């Protein structure tokens, strides 16, 4: 199972519990912590940590029995039931697994320190993508703005460039960037299909590492340094 597949499984667990009407904070925290841990695995390339989490879940999910102290057990007259339909117990078990895995990571996997800028930016997880109707370089005058978690730039197959370059080629050949509603909707749908986190932003998000400015003929990648758009460092320009 890949990290993307594991994230998809956690999303499926969350949706399954939601549709069954269970909306308490326990399963929400469990899924959130699980996804956070797996994203950290991706960022740190700790495949062993990822395997620990997923194997523990798959090996033990059928064995999780309620101890009779949760609302589900009371409703069933304290009869034993599996965590498959006891959301609270299931969530507690997931949380315990994730905590154990993160503790293992903190002991066994120490990230390397490096004073170089490139090594630091490999830890990036947040970015925004701005679409612009013209080639005018004015970052504040975007027409559509997206936010994405877990970008991964500047690795060789860094997130946004590798993912949306084919889409932007299609825009250039067919619609260009005139239909911005189509452009942003297409991109969100694509990244959601790939189990990646993305959403539409109403404004600039201050807590990001990278910004992608998409123009009709190029895409410019910036390192974000504070709220001053003019102070950002241009890393790369990709012709479209």
- Region of 16 (left: φ > 0; alpha: ψ -120 to 50; beta: rest) is alpha
* pLDDT at res. 205: 72
* pLDDT at res. 183: 63
Spans of the chain, pLDDT less than 50: 1, 45, 64, 74, 76-85, 105-124, 156-157, 195
Within 10 angstroms of residue 28's Cβ, the number of other Cβ atoms is 15
| pLDDT tens by residue, 2-50 | 555 555 666 666 665 555 555 555 555 566 666 666 666 555 545 565 5
Contacts of 50 (CB under 8 A, 6+ apart): 3, 6, 38, 41, 42
- Region of 163 (left: φ > 0; alpha: ψ -120 to 50; beta: rest) is alpha
Count H helices and E strands in the chain, helices first: 8, 6
- Region of 112 (left: φ > 0; alpha: ψ -120 to 50; beta: rest) is beta
Helix 47-60 with 25-44: angle, nearest 10 deg: 150
Q: How many residues make up the chain in this entry?
A: 240
Give the single-character DSSP code of 68. S
Which helix (DSSP H) or strand (DSSP E) does residue 13 occupy?
Answer: helix 3-19
Return d(Cα 43, Cα 52) in angstroms, integer: 16
* pLDDT at res. 238: 80
């Amino acid at each position: 199972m890949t990290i993307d597949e594991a994230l998809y499984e956690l999303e499926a667990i969350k949706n399954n519990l939601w549709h069954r009407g269970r909306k308490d904070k326990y399963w929400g925290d469990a899924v959130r912590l699980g996804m956070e841990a797996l994203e950290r695995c991706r960022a740190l390339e700790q495949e062993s940590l990822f395997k620990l989490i997923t194997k523990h879940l798959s090996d033990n999910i059928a064995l999780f029995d309620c101890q009779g102290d949760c609302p589900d057990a009371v409703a069933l007259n304290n009869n034993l039931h599996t965590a498959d339909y006891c959301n609270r117990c299931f969530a507690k078990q997931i949380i315990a697994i994730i905590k154990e895995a993160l503790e293992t990571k903190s002991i066994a996997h120490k990230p390397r320190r490096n004073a170089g800028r490139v090594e630091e930016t490999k830890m990036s997880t947040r970015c925004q993508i701005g679409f612009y109707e013209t080639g005018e370089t004015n970052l504040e005058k975007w027409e559509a703005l997206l936010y994405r978690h877990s970008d991964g730039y500047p690795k060789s197959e860094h997130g946004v460039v590798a993912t949306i370059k084919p889409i932007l080629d299609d825009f250039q050949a067919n619609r260009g960037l005139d239909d911005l509603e189509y452009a942003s909707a297409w991109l969100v749908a694509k990244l959601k299909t790939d189990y990646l986190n993305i959403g539409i932003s109403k404004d600039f998000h201050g807590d990001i590492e990278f910004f992608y400015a998409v123009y009709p003929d190029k895409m410019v990648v910036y390192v974000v340094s504070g709220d001053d758009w003019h102070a950002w460092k241009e890393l790369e320009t990709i012709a479209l």
